[in-house]
Amino acid sequence: LCQAAFHIDPVAGVNSMRKVKKLAEDHGAELMYSHDMENFKTYKTGTQFYG
């Protein structure tokens, strides 16, 4: 998910983020924020994940 145009409609943006957070909680998923480089370095990607 890419949270686009948050600055255009902040209310819709916040509602969208809440919806995504609830979906993640309901399905036992983890939200991953790739813009956080320090955190991104800890993610298993590509062959690390699938290998």
Spell out the domain ranges in the chain. 10-50
Tell which wins on pLDDT, 25 or 42.
25
Mean pLDDT of 30-43: 82
CB 30 within 8 A of CB 36: no
Burial grade of 16 (CB within 10 A; 0-12, 13-18, 19 or more): middle
Q: What is the pLDDT of residues 2-30, one digit of tens each?
A: 666 667 888 888 888 899 999 999 999 88
| pLDDT at res. 26 | 98
Q: What does the block give as tokens for 17?
A: 């983020």
CB 21 within 8 A of CB 40: no
| pLDDT at res. 23 | 95
| pLDDT at res. 2 | 60
